[in-house]
Structure 1
Amino acid sequence: MVLDEKKLIKIRRELHKIPEIGMKEFKTQAKLLEIIKSLPQKYLEIKTWQTAILVKVIGKDPTYTIGYRTDIDGLPVVEQTRLPFSSENPATMHACGHDIHMTVALGILSFFADNQPAVNMTFIFQPAEENASGGKQLYESGALDEWMPDEIYAFHDNPQLPMGVIGCRQGTLFAGTCEIHARFIGESGHAAFPQFANDMVVAGAQFVNQIQTIVSRNVDPIQAGVVTLGHFEAGKTGNVIAGKAQIDGTIRALTQDMNLLIQNRVRKIAEGVAATYDCQLELDLHQGGYYPVENNVQTTAAFIKYMKSAANVDFIETRPAMTGEDFGFLLSKIPGTMFWLGVESKYSLHSEFFAPKEGAIIKGVEAMTGFLRVRQHEVATDK
């Protein structure tokens, strides 16, 4: 039973109603399992890990495996779209389009459940992309080992691209990210007696100022990096010297080497500020599995070649983006390709008004089904 466009849109709306935060996608997992088990089972094997679902499609040649991954979690966003199928979970929404991602994956899976692939396939329904490096957790759990792909594919929806357009590029598609959490601890006191206190507003301000020099003075001008500090909290009132300052932000870089360079400079600056102002420092630089999404040369060449030549596909080459995605971790372990699928919305990803065009679903299914059929025969022939 190949899922048609009408059924896929119905599935997407059902999934959109039940968004859940990472590693708590219990209703989502149950709904996905219900749909997967309704497909022909002749070639399928299913197993779960936490809230993840792994589906093996047994191919004619089982000595090679192609992987396809979708993320399944939502965001802590209060939906404001007023759609008739809006989120039924308070303060949670599929504001990043993972409901679209899951639906496309189910459409592709339904085709290969009905049409035995040339080689094995592993479909990965992965939790916690947004908040807890679910791809890294799944990989390191060993649950994927038995069905480990030899190459792997995934996409992210893009509201800035026209509906159904496929976008991709060689090299880095998305940046690697790293969270910055810095806490400076001094001593509070009366505003009239600064000599008896250790002011962390001053220390924190120096940290903020010095961080601004990293991209301008440590990053190669022809490369890319971003350091943004979005949260600074110190003190409660104007006539009390603040004894603590909490500063939080993010690092974005298009290569892992650059990300590590920026992390090192952040650490050195934080330690220098702490030494200068004789205060304690608690610093957490947390990257987790959010590595740069670096597309493999061979798989991406095959992907772009197909998408450019396919009669039913509109393809464009895209620029790198500073958004983050934990598929980067899987690509650091498994050769593969990530791409964009245009969903044409005037609202951005993570917006409470985000409403992707559902016509993109069938276009994504058809484009990837076509590519994966061709790719399977290519790798089977090469072997």
Structure 2
Amino acid sequence: MERIYLDHGATTPMHPLVIEKMTEIMATVFGNPSSIHQQGRQAHGLLEEARSKIANSLNANDHEIIFTSGGTESDNSAIMQTAHARVAEGKHIITSAVEHPAVLNTMKELVHQGFEVTYLPVNEAGGLTAESVAEVLREDTILVSLMSLNNETGVRFPIAEIGQLLAGHSAYFHTDAVQAFGLDELDVKALGVDFLSATAHKINGPKGIGFLYIRDGISLPALLHGGEQEEKRRPGTENLAGIQGFATAVEILTPVEKAKRLAAYEHFGLLIKEALTEAEIPFVINGGQGEKSPHILNLWLKGIPNDLLLMHLDLQGISLSIGSACTAGNVEPSHVLEAMYGKGHPSTKESLRVSFGLGNTVAEIELFIERLLEVVHRLGK
């Protein structure tokens, strides 16, 4: 049975050109970028070439890009380093109730260490406003950390507006852009952020490589201790093949390519919604009333338990998920949907996340719809 992969919000298949580039690097370049001999200089040149490509995609300076092992490390670094460096100035941090576990669990640890965290609620559309940030902003607020785009609903937060709000405040501003990077046009200067986290495996690059943008002029202690790599901010020999693979994935996603993909995802979502409507299956698009990305479709199929639906679709060759992949093995209700609708709301146990990406076709979506309708009718009896 040929499987249909609709879980690109969790991770994505590597693009063939990325595999080709990484294979080339692994086969021909083995020098340490920190070494001064010829092989080292060759590796260093390729490292900085990749850094420049990624920086340009964000309108950042090259040295503002620090390579990490992925989004989780980038989120942890920005949050923990800021908290520990600025503790004398205050202990208040602002985030939202719908952040990724990489942020929420870091905040939980900081609360244990004596910091105070305000968790902004979201409305039923899954969004929040700059005004809601302003209402809880205090003189002792040292950090605001808000995601650019929610990984379960695809809802966007008004990061640029919040950046403008914080321009006159001393608090640092971090955004987890793991789901937004590569699809949305992101300009760190226009957004007004001090930190931005991203990872390669969400944009058809390799796993195990990400970056943290750190605005010029910010001085923070390193989270790790060792050598002087990455502007002395992140020690350890760089993963050159992964970094080159990341840069290749970024190069592929030109503005034209992004627009093409987003249009396709919009069409896929429309096909699914039209089919459900025609079949008279009660459903709601969670977050559908807000500003959102079309690559994520969070479906509340009323009266259908999502664990059973997920299992039956998996047996039918369809790969998708209930929520964040970082809660793998956890069948608890989605914290994102609980924040939107309240604990105990039926949507929290009757919703699925369908996420589109590279390789998906109209034919696949039509087959998915056919199998979805079949399973829903069977479970609904």
TM-score (norm 2): 0.26
Higher normalized helix content (fraction of residues): 2
